[in-house]
Chain A
């Protein structure tokens, strides 16, 4: 999997060195072939990346979806990703198709990290369905937990202003250029200020999970919107 992620860089570096080596006729001949072999292995590794999900019964037990719903979800998932896993680029492509006017890649990156719970660089069907189960069938507590996890980019349990600013910029990026009123530079920053004013009760510059959940549960709008997408599947 690591090869899969790091492959282009390593290959490139090896390629330059190999080329330089080849210019000098006295260089050891085995160097280039070793790199060739590595790249061949990488190729095999790439093509061998296939993933079969756990059985239907296990997934049914782990998530809150019914059998039929899991079937529909899997069919859609496998249609777009025949190899059974979504890597970050495909994920970004798919998500970007829903927001043609803006640039959804940054937010898709954060979303990807939120779904990729075991941080192995790809989202398998299990990850996908677990995430959806929380989002669509979970309790409000679980949903808020998930949202906190999304905002907490480095997963240290605190949302700092910088992290929130990144997230906010990513959201505003999705709007694109042609908006009304015209998007200004300081709009995301102002939005972050509003957010922190609301959420950061003890004014220590970070938002913890308890402050977050507390504050959201007291906000009527947020509570109402949590139930918005319950009947999506």
Chain B
């Protein structure tokens, strides 16, 4: 008996308090709490408290439109049996009516949420929904996808094919029996276009109107859709071999002389690449009220961030966070880093620098300032000098950061002493 009591560490008083909070003043503390069989009864009571807690919470919780998989029974079964049960209960194929119902529920829920937040239900956008949900259900989870969410069912449920045949049993698509109807239809269409263009070319040749320098479709700045993107477009799975054959056929289409006639069709399968300009974006020189030119630059190095304003017609004065650079950077190496861009461009005594720097250490701040000064000086300098600066490495941000310490190692790379025995 004594040993059992010692095991129980949940004090009776706190239990009473919590129970009174939950029940509103009627603690249902059983008399068994004072008896010998303490452990079991406490657990029973604690269990009931837990359930009451959840009950109370559930009444206030807003019904989320989330696909909650039906819970599995807690029975000892083998892994294969459990998987089979899960597959049987999970709704892998969502019927159209089910999705329609979900959409209706979502819309109603959206209006409720808007009312709850005191906003206009008519102009309640998805961003407002996200904001409201994060406010109502604050979650400390790191994984963003695990947090509560409320999105339109079309974004949650994967796009699925409806039933492929009508009431009479006849399939809708003429290539249904191939198994990959969308893909083969696409191949059929592309080949049809190839034949048509070949026939057109032949007609032009017979008439004598053929000219070898016809307009070509511009493929610069775009790429073919990737296999995954094509699968998404066709709502059908395809193999790598199929995808390769598709690309070959499209290349064949493009190789024909009159392929420009099918430009619109071809562009449907090409994606524009983001325009990556290799040219440095040089900010324009700004002028303050006195007419003195100035420009600003930002730089980062190893947890230090710096902003610099480089003024023209200066005498080489440098202020960092209001402090003179000789006092701020005691070490010569840091001051050298600061002056290097000016020295490289032979503008040592011509500019005034007003710098602000936070974070990092001595060397990091110096490096950040150097980058910021180089970027600011771009506005004053010609194209060839910009190229020279780039070659010198003044414009490249240094990506090196401190490597993390790993478990089992003393530091990032240092290993513990190895003892043979």
**A complexed with B:** no
